[in-house]
Amino acid sequence: MKPFLFTLLLCFSFLLPARVWAQVTDTTLVPQPKPVVKKTVATIFTGAVFAPRLHYYGRTDDLNSNAVLPTVLLQFDSAGIYASGTAVLLNNRLQTMEYAGTIAELGFKFGKKPTGFTGNIYGNKFFYNTTQLPQSALKGQVGTNITYQTKPINITASGSAAFSNRTDFFASGGLNHGFRWIKGKSVFVITPTATVNAGSQNFTTTYYKENTVPGVPWPQEEVMENSQRFKLLSYEFSAPVIFARKNFYFIATPTYVVPDNVITIPGHPELSEKAGNLFFVNLTALVSIKIKKTK
């Protein structure tokens, strides 16, 4: 879910703050009432994501599932603190809108300048109701995303630790550049992005343990040896397209994923990770509600 929430956080700054100033045309000394200025203290975002190909660094489940992800996010604007909850509703040839779990996130955003460092620190708690997905082996995750913004290009880096029966460590690095057009109250942004992901795959061992039929032998030592190594996991190329108008956001994210170092077990194709090059377009629709107070 990190890609979706990170894209969502990027779009929060696209609506320019609007101030209503009282125009005083009377130049006499008659006292004028002070203009009422309201400050936004929090913003609620609610909507849904359609993910046509669920994957974890290019690894997919046997049913090539897609999902609808209803989400709610509460952001305290001045403090930088946010919290979100996302439900996972699975679809495939055997399931239709079946509840598969909930993802909770608590985080802190930092950096608001157009250049320099920006990013967030976050913690996730996963409440999966299935063992079907490769990522369903995870119980929680903590991490950070950092972007160094310059006029020609933005440099991104992230690191995280994910917890199953053993801890996995992940790192990512990437480049992107945003093109923004503003017309009236509408904002249109497209951000071509390239990212390289690396990490260990201990979650795979947990996934096998939860999905292997009891009594059926499988090469546990070989899987554990491969999953403990820190390796390149995938290359991702995307171009999020964001349209924002007033309190409405629409995001289309075409993405091409190339997995790397996929665990394969000779003689056991049923135990090998299911992975391949993927192309898909995630679709997100959101509305925002601002909570204001009078200064």
Query: DSSP readout, 150-191?
Result: -SS-EEEEEEEEEESSSEEEEEEEEEE--EEEEETTEEEEE-
Give the predicted TM-score (pTM) of the model. Answer: 0.84
Distance (Å) of CA 221 to CA 101, 167, 227, 228, 267: 30, 17, 10, 11, 15
For residue 236, what are its two tokens?
Answer: 């991702």
Pairing of strands 98-110, 248-259: unpaired
Structural domains in the chain plus CATH codes: 40-294 (2.40.160.40)
Q: What does the pLDDT read at residue 182?
A: 93
Q: Greater confidence, 283 or 228?
A: 283
Across 78-96, average pLDDT: 94
Task: Return the structure tokens found at 265.
Answer: 């077990």
pLDDT 10s digits, 23-73: 333 444 455 566 656 677 899 999 999 999 999 999 999 899 999 999 999
